Amino acid sequence: MVSMEQFHGTTIIGIKKGNRAVIGGDGQVTLGNSVIKDSAQKLRRLFDGKVIAGFAGATADAFTLFEKFEGRLKDTKGNLKKAAVELAKEWRSDRILRRLEAMILVADKKSILLISGTGDVLEPDDGLIAIGSGGNYALAAARALSNHSKLDIKEIAVNSLKIAAEICIYTNSNINIEEI
């Protein structure tokens, strides 16, 4: 049996500016010191394509969270913030869900949020947020590119992920982007 500590990988970046948002992710899945897959899809469209989401962590756990979150979106008629808070409350208080090892970024045209299993629902002041092993590298790159270039948010996401892939051994440059 493989311990969860041996699972590493994933860099997910979210960028929100105006009424646009992008979430991007790499494709690498690592087990211990081996790359198992280099083209994993860690992004999803939810709620009839009106919400985009990306995950870092255990894949099965993330799919469970995506399903739960989409249910909360339906319950709240697409209110992203309310759905996120409801998911975080359930995730934190449910004995089974509490064991899930994943984090998700979600965005619509109004907001971008990080939802964690510790009950956090975080909305960045600057519209930039990242998760995963290379998240801090991608976030630093996105901040620099946002402040010192005229790149579009999609280009910033792609370039930030490429920079993270050059630094983080658990991140690759097989990049996927979802935009709304």
Q: Which residues are annotated as catalytic? A: 10
Distance CA 10, CA 20 (A): 23
Q: Which amino acid is at 50?
A: K
